[in-house]
Amino acid sequence: MGTHLWNRKHLLGMADLSREEIHAILEAAASLREVNRRDIKKVPTLRGKTVINLFYENSTRTRTSFELAGKRMSADVINMSVASSSVKKGETLYDTLATLQAMNPDLVVIRHPESGAQEFLARHLDASLVNAGDGRHEHPTQALLDLLTIHDNLPLLEQEDFSSLIVAVCGDSLHSRVARSIALGLKTLGAEVRFVGPPGLLPFRAEEAFGVRVFHRLEQGLEGAHVVMALRLQLERMSVGFIPSVREYFAFWGLTKARLAVAAPNAIVMHPGPINRGVEIASEVADDRERSVILDQVANGLAVRMAVMYRLCGVGGGR
Amino acid sequence: MSGFLWIRGARVVDPANGLDATADLLVGDGIIREVGRCDAPLGCPVLDADGLVLAPGLVDMHVHLREPGFEYKETIAGGTRAAAAGGVTTVAAMPNTRPVNDDPSVTGYILQKARSEGWVNVAPIGAVTRGLEGRELTEMGLQIRAGCVAFSDDGRPVADSGLMRRALEYASTFGALIIQHAEDPALAGHGCMHEGVISSRLGLPGLPSEAESVMVDRDLRLVALTGGRYHVAHISTGQAVEAVGRARAMGLSVSCEVAPHHFALTDEAVLGYDTDAKMSPPLRGHEERHALLEGLARGIITVIATDHAPHDPDSKRVEFCQASNGVVGLETLLPVSLELVRDGVMGLSACLAAMTVAPARLLGLNRGALTPGMPADLLLFDLDAPWVVDAARLHGTSRNTCFHGRRVRGRVKKTFVAGRLVHDDDG
C-alpha cells in the first residue's frame, strides 16, 4: 500500500494533501472495502490502539462511520459527545483537551462547530488527529470518500482520470466545509470545479481562493458537468437573509431531472447527506438509481475512514 | 546640582520645532531648559548620548489600560510600565473599563492611580455614551473638567446616526475630539477576520472593508453638518483613508490614526488560526496595507497609535472566533514604525511627528515637543540596533503580541518623564 507516500501524523485538511497522498488513501480504501464484505468484518490492524471520537456537533452519520471504522480495525473506540452550544459556559476546549491528553489516546477524531478547532487540538494534544469537520473550513474524510466514489465511476463517465472531469458543486458552498474540501481535493487531482449558487451563498472571491469557476444560475453551472454534487441547505440561513424562502430556492437552485438534462450523459449525482428533499434536491433525482450514488458514498465513507486510521496509526503506518 | 541633567551629543529630532541635528539638551527640575549648544551648570550630571537619537517621549493616543475592572488583563501600573519600556511617555486611556469611564469619578480614580502607581503620564478618554451603550450622551463638560482629553466609545462604534450628530455638536461646545471606532455593526456581522481570499480558505466569517468605510463616509457627512472635531481610530482601509483625505482637503476638522499591526502585517498572519493575530478592525489584505502606507506617505494619516489591548491567556487560548480581539503594542510601537523610515515611506522626523506632536496637538496636551519650558518627557533610542521581539520579555501584564519573533531595528535606551528616568535598557 505504498507506505512511503504517507508519513503524516494528522489529517487536518485536503489543503495539505498531495496528489500521491490522495491516491495512496484511495487505494488503501479500495482494498479495505473487501473487509466490509466479509462474513467476519474485523481485522486486527489497530488492536491495542485507543480512538476517541470527540464530537462537539451532532452527527450520527459521521460519528457512526468513524466508530464502525475503528471497531472493524479492532481499535478501542470511545465516543465523547460534548454539548457546545455555549462555549462561555462549561469547560473550555483547552481544558477538555488536557483531560483527553491524560488518557493518552492514539487517535482523536474531532468534529467542532468552529473553523480552526483542529489546529487548536494539534497544538495541545500528542495524539494523531483526524478532522471530521471544523466549522465551515474542512471535512477531509468526506472529500476522500467523494473522490473514491467519483473514481469508481470514471469508466461510466468515460474518463481515464480526473484531469478532464467537470464537477459542479451546487448550493450553499459559503457555509460548507464539504465544498471547500472537495474543491481542494479535486483541484489537486486536476479536475475542473464549479461552485454554483446564489451570490450570497458562495465564498468571497471563490475563484481566487479555490481556483473554481463560479456560476450563479444552475442551468449554466450544470452544462457538461460529469458530477453534480448537491449541498445541504441549512434552513436557518433564511432567517438571516441569505435567501428569501425554500420555495424560491428550489425554484431556481433545486436539482431536478429536467435541469440535469444539460449535464454530461451518464452524469452522476452526489450529496453528502442528510438530504433535504424538495429543497436542494428533488426526490426524483435523489432516488434515481441510474444517477444517484448517494448510498455508495456512505459505504465508501467507512472504507476511507478505515484507510485513514490505518495510515495514521496502524502498524506500518506513518509513525 | 540636583534636578539637572545635561544630555550631550545626541542626534536631536524634534519634529514640532523642525530640528534634526546633533545637539545637547539641558533638563532642570523636570523641565526642558535649553536645546542646542548648551553650557551645563557646574556639577550637573552628564549623559553622553553620542550615537543615539533624542526625541520627545512618544504620545500614544490609543491604549487600553484595563483598570478599573479588568486588572487580570492589565493595570495602570503594568500598562504604564510597558509604555515606559516602549519609549511612550503619555498614554491616552480608552474608557471601556468596568465601570466604564463615563463619569468624572472614574476619570478621577484613573488619574489618582496614575499619579500614585503610574510610570508615565495617563490622559483619560471619556465615553461618548453612558455605559458605551450608544443611547445617552455622557457629561462631557464635567468629564473634561475632571481631566478627560477626548471622547470615544472605542471597542464599539457610535452606530446611531442621530446620536452621532448630537455627540459631534455637543462636543464642539468644548472643542472636544470625538474618536470613532468606525464599523457598521450590521455589515460587520459575526465576522472575525478580514473578508478576503484567506477568510474564504480558512472558513472564517469575514468582515468586509466596507464595514469601516461606510461608517466613515456617514460620519464625515455629520462632521460637515455639525462642524465637530472627528478622529478615526485604527483606520484600516484604503476607502476610509481616501474619504478622510477628501474631508481634510475640504477643511473639515478630521484626522485619523493607524496602528503598527495594520501597516506592518496582513491577514496572512491569521493562517494557522493564530488568535494573537485577531483584533478589531482585523488585519487586512495587501491592497489595504499599501493604501495605509500611501496614506502615511501623503500625510492623510497623521498619527500612529497602538490600540494596545492586553488580554489574559485564557481569553486567547480558545477557538479563533471565540478569542478576544486585540494585541499589545506599546513595546513594539517604535521599532515597527521605524520600518516605515527604512522602507522609504516617510522620513524619521515625519515618523516621529506621528507619535509625538501630532497626537499631542489633537488631544490638546502640552507634550510631544522639545520646546524649552515644556515637561522633559524624553526618549533616547538607538536607531539601528537589531533585536528580536520576544513575548516573554515584554514588561506589561499580558503578552499577546502579534510581532513575536519579528526581527526589528531601533531600540529604546532610556525614557524620561518630566526629567525622571522611568526606563533604562542598560540598567
Go through the domains of chain B in sequence order and give each one's CATH number: 57-363 (3.20.20.140)
Pick the closest to residue B377 from B426, B414, B333 (CA basis): B414
Instruction: Determine, yes or no, domain membership for A112.
Output: yes
Same domain, A108 and A256: no
CA–CA dist B163, B138 (Å, integer):
12
Which residue on chain A is closest to B319 by alpha carbon?
A117
CA–CA dist A24, A311 (Å, integer):
9
Which residue on chain A is closest to B198 by alpha carbon?
A209
User: A178 to chain B, minimum CA–CA distance in Å?
Assistant: 11
Instruction: Report the alpha-carbon angle B312-B313-B316, nearest 5.
Output: 100
Please list every residue in chain B whose beta carbon sits closer than 8 Å to the beta carbon of residue A203.
200
Same domain, A132 and A160: no
Residues of B with a Cβ under 8 Å from any A Cβ are: 195-204, 206, 272-273, 314, 317-322
Contact check, Cβ <8 Å, A116/B202: yes
pLDDT tens digit string along A163-199? 999 999 999 999 999 999 999 999 999 999 999 999 9
Contact check, Cβ <8 Å, B322/A203: no
* pLDDT for A60: 86
* pLDDT for A317: 45
* pLDDT for A315: 57
pLDDT tens digit string along A284-301? 999 999 999 999 999 999
Instruction: Determine, yes or no, domain membership for A69.
Output: yes
pLDDT tens digit string along A268-280? 999 998 999 999 9
Q: B3 falls in which pLDDT band (50, 70, 90)?
A: confident
Buried b (16+ CB within 10 A) or exposed e, B29-60: eeebbbbeebebeeebeebebeebbbbbbbbb
pLDDT tens digit string along B24-75? 999 999 999 999 987 888 889 999 999 999 999 999 999 999 999 999 999 9
Which ranges of chain A does DSSP label H, i.e. alpha helix? 19-37, 60-72, 93-102, 117-124, 140-153, 177-188, 206-210, 218-222, 246-253, 257-260, 283-286, 294-313
Please give the positions of B annotated as active site.
307
* pLDDT for A1: 44
Please list every residue in chain B whose beta carbon sits closer than 8 Å to the beta carbon of residue A200.
none
Instruction: Determine, yes or no, domain membership for A319.
Output: no
User: A23 to chain B, minimum CA–CA distance in Å?
Assistant: 23
In chain A, the N- to C-terminal Cα span, in Å, equals 15
pLDDT at position A207 over 80: yes
Which ipTM was obtained for this model? 0.92
Same domain, A170 and A276: yes
The rounded mean pLDDT for chain A is: 91
* pLDDT for B2: 59
**What is the DSSP-derived secondary structure letter of residue A130?**
E
Please list every residue in chain A whose beta carbon sits closer than 8 Å to the beta carbon of residue B206.
204
Same domain, A276 and A154: yes
**For testing the chain A interface, which of B194, B202, B322 should be mutated: the one with the most A CBs within 10 Å?**
B202
CA–CA dist B128, A232 (Å, integer):
45
Q: A318 falls in which pLDDT band (50, 70, 90)?
A: very low
CA–CA dist B285, B193 (Å, integer):
11
Q: B345 falls in which pLDDT band (50, 70, 90)?
A: very high
Instruction: Determine, yes or no, domain membership for A91.
Output: yes
Contact check, Cβ <8 Å, A210/B201: yes
pLDDT at position A86 over 50: no
pLDDT tens digit string along A216-252? 999 999 999 999 999 999 877 666 788 889 999 999 9
Instruction: Determine, yes or no, domain membership for A290.
Output: yes
* pLDDT for A119: 92
The rounded mean pLDDT for chain B is: 97
Same domain, A133 and A259: no
Contact check, Cβ <8 Å, A206/B272: no
User: B320 to chain A, minimum CA–CA distance in Å?
Assistant: 7
Instruction: Determine, yes or no, domain membership for A106.
Output: yes
* Total number of domains in chain A: 2
In which residue are the cell numbers 491524560 written?
A: A102
Instruction: Determine, yes or no, domain membership for A266.
Output: yes
Please list every residue in chain A whose beta carbon sits closer than 8 Å to the beta carbon of residue B202.
115-116, 137
- CATH number of the domain bearing residue A190: 3.40.50.1370
pLDDT at position A2 over 50: no
Domain containing residue A117: 3-138+298-313
Helix, coil or strand: residue A277: strand
Please list every residue in chain B whose beta carbon sits closer than 8 Å to the beta carbon of residue A136.
203-204
- With a CB cutoff of 8 Å and minimum separation 6, the contacts of A173 are A179, A180, A183, A195, A197, A201, A202, A203, A206, A231
* pLDDT for B161: 98
* pLDDT for A3: 47
CB B121 within 8 A of CB B149: no
Same domain, A234 and A308: no
Which residue on chain A is closest to B194 by alpha carbon?
A204
Instruction: Determine, yes or no, domain membership for A318.
Output: no
CA–CA dist A95, A82 (Å, integer):
13
